[in-house]
Amino acid sequence: MKAQMVKNSVIVPVGAKGGFVLKRPPPPGDREAFLAEGIECYRMLMRGLLDITDNQGAAGVEPPADVVRHDTDDPYLVVAADKGTATFSDIANGMSRDYGFWLDDAFASGGSVGYDHKKMGITARGAWESVKRHFREIGLDTQSEPFSVVGIGDMAGDVFGNGMLLSPFIRLVGAFNHIHIFVDPDPTDPAQSLKERRRLFDTPRSAWTDYDPKLISRGGGVFLRSAKSVPISAQMKARFDIEKDALAPNDLIRALLGAEVDLLWVGGIGTYVKAADERNAEVGDRANDPLRLNGRQLRCRVVGEGGNLGFTQRGRIEFARKGGRINTDAVDNSAGVDCSDHEVNIKILLGQAMAAGELTMAPRDKLLAAMTDEVAAQVLRDNYLQTQAISAMQLQAAEKLDPQARFARELERAGKLDRALESLPDDETLAEREAAREGMCRPELSVLLAYAKNTLYQSLLESDVPDDPYFGQELELYFPSALRKRFAGQISRHRLRREIIATAIANSVVNRNGASFVSEVAQDGGFQAADIARGYAVVRDVFRLRPLWQGIEALDNVVPADVQTRMLVEIEALVRTMTKWFLHSETQPMDVADTVKRYADGTAALELALPTLLRSLDSESFGEREARFIADGVPADLARRIAALAPLRSAGHIVSAANTIRKPVTDVGDVFFGVGALLGLDWLRAAAVGVAADSHWQSLAIGAIVDDLYSQQRALAGRVLASASRARGDPAVRAWEAANAVTVARTRELIAEFRAGGTVDIARLALANRQVRAMLSGR
């Protein structure tokens, strides 16, 4: 259930977990009778759900007869295929039709007319996005370089089977399920091994014993877990660091789990890794107590959690804190429920089109099938972006520990988070990490990311943000292109349009800026989440960030992954600064469309002209940053745009001034940067930005100083432009300098003294800022 709550961050509206128990199962051994009893009990569960669920009719919501309702109207109910019921979707949809339930065959996803998760391999492919990112960030391309794997599962399984087909360079050295242990100590021909694994995957109900023994390397084999002992060959000893000549099957499995391999692929059922300070009894999986290792005992480099609950959360944290690369099961395997979510919402849309006479059933089914690949791509995009967000948070983990801790405490005070339950660090642990300059690890960041999305989603849903026509684009982009072209009107009237928009915005805001972004900006000025979402959208579109993100993502396996992440963090810094600026500078609630219109063209013109406008320190910094990114392999155009982000933090001031005094933005920018260089304000601002904040309050103080310096420079630029007749750029600045020689000299002398004064700290910065302000204001 905890994993499901985390997955709710990418689905519409939210999901829960349910199940049923066979109270009177038939005698053991009769598989057909057992299946029939299971289906009948499943029908009973479905009837129980539908009997008490509101329906949607032509006149609106229709409450169920003879049912006392304690909640508001809520006709939305779907069921998704899960372990044990993966083939039951058609049964559920048949009952939905019998009941006349409004969702019809959208009630249960993954049926015969829907998206079959195993055929698509969607859950495994989603988890593989995590695997690819982990390896990319340690310099290995899983799609072109060989890597060793130990796996949990077998080739008949959806997640394990599909996962072990996703790269031709997999060297599967060992795996196990509930019956067999597969060992292949040295698979020298990965292509041949892949071909054999595919054969097993395509064979119904295959087992590891179906693997061609001639294709297993010397010293390997397939062994029964029920055997008393397994003989250990010389090759097995060497590969898995085993000293004994024979091992009990459980001990061999422990050796596989703790093997020195590149990837541990979790595709089966069971919890196999805990923390050293956890007792097996706390795990709740007695069957696997004899197999279970502690996170610190693992020697793999990467874990991919295609299945749920392979690790306890504390086990993940222990593994991550010793250097292992792991997210959480809820992040890695969210693609399955995400795919179900897309199917349901697409079917709701097409149901509207059918009710309006725009479509009939047979063409609908054909259209659904034709969109399979695009739906998969949209789902996998969510996996890509979530893991990207975690990597960006991890790069800043130490410096972001304080705002993340503050956010977690906010949630706790609101009753929305139990840190102990989610294994997030308590205050004592946070203090220890802060002293050690350590942040949260990936499994912890994964949980915080989901809570940030879910909290923001709820806030947006309760606001008027989803009703803003500007965000209609978020609704359109949720659907495949074939639907956007053909059913634009129906999309705008989708029954879950508000929920889809709120989900899309929440994911975009948090994926691009981290878990604590909304909390940090809110604390800076007391803004509401809805205001912050609007501000983010303005910044994203004014600064044309989508092409930047796309350009960075296109460099996967082309430049080092840390270069990509650093560029993403550069964009995040701009978004943070400029979101605050727009929130403070524009009337709230912001008219997003109008604000984008007033600032976008001027900002683009300013960015284009920056190389000719920047002076001294700003120009040197711009050139150095651009050259550094180019040296790292970043294309010149992209390197130039990323290098421009720091000086573009002044864009709001410059474009706003240009709009106010009706002068070309390049003229205003020329003077703005000119007076900054003349007086040394550019140096003073850079010094302020470079001061490391030790607390939330110090961060706010530094931000206030930087903002004040920008404001002073803008005001000064306005005075220069007002005093100049026809002079522009440097001539205008020189004319103002000549007319204010004493003020200029004293200000420059003041900043020069500050530069010569040694260590820059907040107190000295604040004093210098006050003195400069007084000097420039004539006081």
Q: How far is CA 310 from CA 159, 207, 328, in A?
A: 13, 21, 10
What is the three-class DSSP state of 26?
coil
Our answer to whether residue 17 is catalytic in this structure is: yes
How far is Cα 466 from Cα 473, in angstroms, rounded to an integer?
11
Instruction: Enumerate residues 6+ apart whose C-beta is below 8 A from 664.
Output: 605, 658
Greatest pairwise CA separation for the chain in angstroms:
101
How far is Cα 293 from Cα 274, in angstroms, rounded to an integer?
6
- Record the tokens describing residue 73, joined without a space: 């109207």
Are the beta carbons of 329 and 309 closer than 8 angstroms? yes
How far is Cα 758 from Cα 773, in angstroms, rounded to an integer?
21
Are the beta carbons of 255 and 243 closer than 8 angstroms? no
- Record the tokens describing residue 321, joined without a space: 């804190």
Are the beta carbons of 544 and 604 closer than 8 angstroms? yes
Say what angle helices 592-613 and 616-631 make with each other, to 10 degrees: 90
Are the beta carbons of 465 and 534 closer than 8 angstroms? yes
Residue 464 phi/psi, 5-degree rounding, is -95, 10
Q: How far is CA 405 from CA 309, 390, 397, 442, in A?
A: 26, 16, 11, 15
Peptide bond into 13 cis (omega under 30): yes
Closest C-alpha to 87, from 5, 180, 204: 204
DSSP character for 215? Answer: G
- Record the tokens describing residue 237, joined without a space: 């000893």
How far is Cα 635 from Cα 609, in angstroms, rounded to an integer?
19
How far is Cα 184 from Cα 178, in angstroms, rounded to an integer?
18
Closest C-alpha to 182, from 145, 204, 146, 212: 212
Distance of CA 543 to the CA centre of its chain: 21
* Active-site residue, selected from the candidate residues 17, 119, 366, 597: 17
Write the DSSP assignment of 109-150 as a string of letters: TTSSSS--HHHHTHHHHHHHHHHHHHHHTTT--TTTS-EEEE
Closest C-alpha to 451, from 618, 617, 290, 330: 330
Write the DSSP assignment of 526-554 as a string of letters: T--HHHHHHHHHHHHHHTTHHHHHHHHHT
Catalytic sites, residue numbers: 17
